[in-house]
Structure 1
Amino acid sequence: MSYFAVFDVGGSAIKYSLMDETGEFLEKSSVPTPKDGLDSFIDTIDSVVKGFQKSHELSGVALSMPGAVDVETGFIKGITAITYIHGPNIKELIQERTRLPVELENDANCAGLAEGWIGAAKGISDYICVIIGTGIGGALVLDKKIRHGRNLFGGEFGYMILEDYLAQPIGESWSTLAATWGLVMQVAKRKDMDPHTLDGVTVFKMADDGDMEVQDEIEKFTKRLAVGIYNLQYIIDPEKILLGGAISKREGFIEQINEKLKVMKPNEQCLAIQVEPCQFGNDSNLIGALYHFLQRATKIPSH
């Protein structure tokens, strides 16, 4: 059995685990993401690795990272809350410090890989994972392989322009209208409130408590999500579209989206579009990061 140190690096915390080659968790914890620079970040990764090595011989280090990760070179492009990861070769730096093989992949792509390996898309060749959070991201998997795109923006579904493109130079994107923060902003505008006093949980509680204005905004929110999903189905025509993010776990949420999609079907000849929930929650990035490592290390086919 082979063992791996696996990390899910986020803006506020680094989740880490000791995992075996089947995706089983042996240990799991987290630490705050260092704020004072790259050296502290590398020190943190190395410290966790050395801790695991006290009880297990490690075969490698796998990381889920924010940003536009170039899996071939080890550089991370784009802009994220962790500014110091952009510029240096993160893969090489961790390899030099730990003296272990290292692989890294974008966090949303890791979530998609987890579903294809042992999750809701197991055995599926073409599928999409749409991750709904502060923004909308995701993973595009075609022929069992992550499609990164020429500029590493494959799966950045949230940039899709959805509304108001005639009145503005660009218009409102799917993220600004149909991500959780987008919903918060629409409710705050409708209620004349400071959006920073709200979050997704609060908004849905307001609706559950009978606030009809908030209920109306949630109705618009789910329709906007359905429109984006409808467009993706007709552009890519995948076998499955999976929804992830905390909101996807809300009771009845997936059913609401599917009801909207059913109503949008213009005639019997059109596709019957449905979404399913992602199987994994907070562990998805860790599972997918490990599978990405296994793919790269052994050159096995993508699930």
Structure 2
Amino acid sequence: MKNLAVIDIGGTSIKFGAWVNNELITLGSEPTPDNIASFYKILKHRVDEIKATYADISGVAISSPGAVNKEARQIDGASAIRYIHGFPIFEQLETLFDLPVSIENDANCAALAEVANGAGKDNKNVLFLVLGTGIGGAIIIDGKIFHGSHLYGGEFGFMLVNDHETLSEACSPVNLARKYNEITGEGLTGKEVFDLADQGNQIAYELREKMLKSLAVSIYNLQYSYDPEKFILGGGVSNNPRLLPLLKKKIHEMVASVPIAEIEPEVELCQFKSNANLYGAVVDFLQEHK
């Protein structure tokens, strides 16, 4: 088994770890710098520390935002970290570390972690949905990431769920809060609006019902498009214990309303939380550098 340095690049912080003797060791984080020179300096310093501390580090596994183009060996698309996009960053980092490098999209890494040793560990075909500021996700087919023809595989947030809203607009907790606050003039969070619906607040209840229905319709449609063994939900909203039972009820109603529907989508919450991207980056490296 390879020992690796592991990095999770985020918009506000960069997490570090080491994969040693088949175990993940978390090693803290650094604030994400605003320029690429500082970015390289931090990464080299931390990887050099890992190499000095742990024996036989043979590569660097990285989770990153953006559309990771493994063929072109660069990060396409856009993210909050603009300076990592649009050039052959794989080669730059391999020169910096003097080690082989793998990079995969952060949502894809989280999905790989779940399939390797989480909620999807007994499954080969899984759809992973991340409910955060928007809706992201990943498609796992035969245990591996399906990137799609344009690197948009798993970008479920782009799907239209009604005449004017994407899945991200209809179902993210951030937008749930925005809609409620625009009506009431309050400043609640998505979780607060979600919980307020249980306390008899009619506005919160109706908005939550619309959110759950849109998510249920999307899961139903994806079930009959990709036919996965299960769906795994991640993101901050997955910590809300009320989400899963309410969503399952909506999905059940959806399936019951379609006479020809024989399969009810199986939905579970993710098991990995804050370290999912680090763990998944390791899985990606080991798949890529067998």
TM-score range, shorter chain: over 0.9
Are the equivalent residues in 1 in contact too, given 2:216–2:247 (CA < 8 A)?
A: yes
Equivalent residue letter for 2:138: A
SS where residue 172 of structure 1 aligns? coil
CA RMSD in angstroms, aligned pairs only: 1.6
Equivalent residue letter for 2:14: I
- Whether 2:147 is the aligned partner of 1:148: answer yes
SS where residue 59 of structure 1 aligns? strand
- The separation in 1 between residues aligned to 2:24 and 2:54, in whole angstroms, is 13
- Whether 2:3 is the aligned partner of 1:3: answer yes
- The separation in 2 between residues aligned to 1:27 and 1:189, in whole angstroms, is 41
Runs of 4+ in 1 over 4 A off after TM superposition: none
Equivalent of 1:215 in 186, 205, 209: 205
SS where residue 161 of structure 2 aligns? strand
Unaligned runs of 5+ in 1: 165-170, 299-303
Write out aligned runs for 1:1-303 (5 A). Answer: 2-20=2-20, 22=22, 24-35=23-34, 37-57=35-55, 58-164=57-163, 171-193=164-186, 197-265=187-255, 266-267=258-259, 269-298=261-290
Provide the TM-score with structure 2 as the length reference.
0.94
Kindly, what percent of the aligned residue pairs are identical? 40
Equivalent residue letter for 1:284: A
Deviation at 1:163, TM superposition (A): 1.1
SS where residue 53 of structure 2 aligns? coil
Cα pair distance change 1:212/1:177, threshold 3 Å = same
SS where residue 232 of structure 2 aligns? strand
Provide the TM-score with structure 1 as the length reference.
0.90
Deviation at 1:60, TM superposition (A): 0.9
SS where residue 54 of structure 1 aligns? helix
SS where residue 123 of structure 2 aligns? coil
SS where residue 69 of structure 1 aligns? strand
Are the equivalent residues in 2 in contact too, given 1:14–1:32 (CA < 8 A)?
A: yes
Q: Paired residues, what number?
A: 287
- The separation in 2 between residues aligned to 1:217 and 1:111, in whole angstroms, is 29
- The separation in 1 between residues aligned to 2:44 and 2:272, in whole angstroms, is 27
Cα pair distance change 1:21/1:122, threshold 3 Å = farther
Deviation at 1:88, TM superposition (A): 2.3
Unaligned runs of 5+ in 2: none
Deviations 1:35-66 (A, max 9, x none): 1x111111111111011122113111111000
